[in-house]
Amino acid sequence: MASNAPQHPGAEGGESAEGVPNKKRKNNRYRAFPEEQKRILKTYEDVESETKKTLDTAFEKLLHVLPSLDNMPDGAWYLKDRLSTLKAKRSLDPIYIGLFGTTGAGKSTLLNAILEKKFFLPVSGSRTCTACIVEIKTSQIKYYEANIHLLSDEEWKKELRNLVELLSKTGEEDEEGSHNDADVDEVIQKLRSIYGQGAETKCYEDLLKMKPVIKIPTLRRIPLKGMTAHELSEKLDPYVRMRSDEDERDPAQDGDEEKMRFWPLIKHVEVTLPRSDVIPEGVVFIDIPGTGDFNSKRDQMWKEGINKCSVIWIISEIVRAQGEKVQEVLLAESIKAYQSGRCTDISLVVTKTDDLNLEEYNWERRHRNIPLQSKHDAILERNAAVKRERGKRMKDKLKRKLPSDSEILDKTDFVYTVSAKGYWDKTLNLKEEESEIPKLRDYVRSVYLKEKKKLLTDYVRETLVILSVVQNLRWTPELLDHFGEQDHLENSVKKEIMALEVQVKKCFDQMNHPLDEGAKDAIKSQKIIKSECLDRDNGNRGYYNTLKALCLRHGMYASRSCPRADINDALAQPIYAKINIMFGNIFRIQRYTRATLRPKLSTFMDAVRQKFVEVGVENSAADNNCRLNFLMQEMEVIMSSLDRYILQKKADIYLSLSLSIQNDLRPYYDEAAKVRGKQACQRMKMILTENIDKEVKSGMFERATERMKEQFQKLKNDMTEKLLNDFSKMIKLAFSHWERVAGDLPDFKREYENINDLLDRLENCE
């Protein structure tokens, strides 16, 4: 590890950073960063602090005079509201890093090492932990805290009905022993955990009348607190551990048995650490289960968790790093998040690289002349091979799905080979940097620094814009008359917006041909895809339960015992295959091409700037610069807001294909889910097969593509409407007659100059 990295003398107990006085910890908040990064962070901190102080001063000045203003004009209210909003606004939104992998892949162990807390997050070992999302962050708190959020009463009732449906008797399937599969065993465990032994024999109505064997808090939230990481871990462990047959044989002690029964109700868990010496505040790690969840609310949170991540790490243990189907599923879901969400980077993190038998490894490489003499050398050699082979495969997969010049393809590291055990245990003779825990930390720091500068710059620039409004408030009528006509400027800007609308339509129309071709491919492929979805587990006596679960969830099913299945998404894949590269081109924010939306917006901004200048130069008075600066800077705020809106809506557009297919097939899923009696499984498949054929013939894929085109059209219309409204308000504000209150307003010149200096300092900080 680098010389500036934290030491961990308490490795065995995992308490290296604890017991340090708060004052000392505060003074060492950047201890884990290299000296140059410390300097940069200190600059960011000073700029942020000074910006907030300046905002406070400006806000107090304005509040002091507002009560004395009779019939206060809109501009003054506007200034007050914007200052108030900025005061409350965070300069850095959370940066989410998702750890995406199946149970047992080592996510918790990896996080513990990155956080420098060996036994902080409960490690499952041989036991299965709950499949809910766990978020981990640091904050300026004294204790270690966790909040366990439970399903609401209505959310649990909905899941309960589906759980009972999965256990309902069907006739022939029961005689064949279809209830002996892992998914049904899990359903039984859930019901027993909440209602006790024999709950699986009860009907839905009877279960609703039963009193749960656990006391469910009214607020559906369980707060936990510990003085140390170990203390909180002990309290958290029984809640997030799924009850198993092992627990039945080995009863829990000290009241843990009741706590362990909560796992079916847990929606998600939030864990907060005191400010860390290794991970900056503002970074949030999300432990994302690999398969989602049968419960609709937990599965919704699963999707939202992936889509809000800036970075996704696919976690796979070394013994499964090659050829594992689940890993391919995780990569496909990650690429989908890259296309539709906020994700800008995907990496494969291979864990447990210390799990190596030297004798076996030498036998596998026996074709080489010289056997390796040490486990250390064998680990490093295998790591290099995994990086090389898996990195190439991953890059090739990304190339097939994304534009060939996508920024992510320039990465030097697609694969990290990690040994959390090697990080703590010196007997393995791995250097700390060879465990690659420090390398992941370095990456987290680099992401944080990049995002911090970008968002803080936007924050300071927006503050500068608001303070420039004060100059508007102090203009005189004479200067106003010489500046130019408001209607003329409004009409000029409106023409540019209409020109942008035409360009946006051309940009979005590029999707029409790929969508149409994709629909044709989907029609050709639907019989094969349908067969793969409905017959892949044929012959398995428990497949009826999986198929039934698919129908209850309208074509989607996720569980711990099998990869995520989604009939709707599978049917849409031929269309996605046709549009993925073009879709990625349109919404990319770097390396612009003719197909990209961003250059259209940039051209529009340049044209509007020119209109502002043309109107402003009609009079050369110095005070016109204030108004012109306000128009220029406020436009930046408007366009930044539009960028965020586009990012939010692109997910709706991308997912509209599978959602359209799901909506068309929904009645048949409901019909199949109700099937009982002899040959129920075959009858369910027949219902789905026949009706998918019927919907395809009636234009299901064509409707899906038309609905996506409608989503593009809606985004174009929304963009136009938003720009028209925002620019109209801005221009009216710039030309308002505020001279009657100018003499009563405080002088904000010093605050304006201070923020301007801070912005220069921030932009020049490297």
Q: Which of 12, 280, 22 is nearest to 143 (CA)?
A: 22
| Pair 618, 482: CB distance under 8 Å | yes
* Overall average pLDDT of the 720-727 stretch: 94
Range of the structural domain that residue 659 is part of: 474-743
- 59 assigned to some structural domain: no
For residues 243 and 182, membership in a common domain is answered with no
Alpha carbon distance 615, 217 (integer Å) = 64
Domain boundary pick from 201, 219, 237: 219
pLDDT-wise least confident of 240-254, 304-318, 596-610? 240-254
Both 170 and 308 in a single domain? no
Tell me the whole-structure pTM to 2 decimals. 0.81
C-alpha closest to that of 94 among 335, 270, 236: 270
Q: Is 443 inside any structural domain? A: no
Model confidence at 275: pLDDT above 90: no
Same domain, 349 and 250: yes
Q: Which residues contact 488 (CB under 8 A, 6 or more apart)?
A: 615
- Which run of H or E residues covers position 268? strand 266-274
Beta-carbon-side half-sphere exposure of residue 534 (alpha carbons within 13 Å): 23
Domain stop point among 167, 201, 219: 219
| Residue pLDDT, tens place only, 663-699 | 999 999 999 998 888 888 889 999 999 999 999 999 9
Q: Say if 41 falls within a structural domain.
A: no
- Asked if the structure places residue 461 within a domain, the reply is no
Whether residue 699 sits in one domain with residue 671? yes
Q: Could you read off the pLDDT of 458-469 as tens digits, one per residue?
A: 889 888 888 876
Same domain, 267 and 209: no
Examine residue 44 and state whether it is found in any structural domain, yes or no. no
Check whether residue 231 and residue 196 sit in a common domain.
Answer: no
Q: Give yes or no: residues 111 and 177 share one domain.
A: no
Residues 366 and 506 in one domain: no
User: Do both 549 and 681 map to the same domain?
Assistant: yes
Residues 247 and 194 placed together within one structural domain of the fold: no
CATH number of the domain to which 265 belongs: 3.40.50.300
Q: What is the pLDDT of residues 322-336, one digit of tens each?
A: 456 777 878 888 888
Kindly state the tokens that stand for 739. Answer: 């001279």
Confidence (pLDDT) at 71:
60
Lowest mean pLDDT: which of 88-92, 377-381, 489-493, 658-662? 88-92
Co-location of 215 and 253 in the same domain: no
Q: What does the pLDDT read at residue 292?
A: 60
Q: What does the pLDDT read at residue 556?
A: 85
- Same domain for 104 and 144: yes
Which of 193, 219, 245 is the C-terminal boundary of a domain?
219
Considering its fold, how many domains does the chain have in total? 3
Give buried/exposed letters for 536-558 (b at 16+ CB in 10 A, else e): eeeeebbbbbbbbbbbbbbbbbb
| 45 in a structural domain | no
Give first-to-last CA distance, the chain, whole Å: 24
Mean pLDDT of the chain: 82
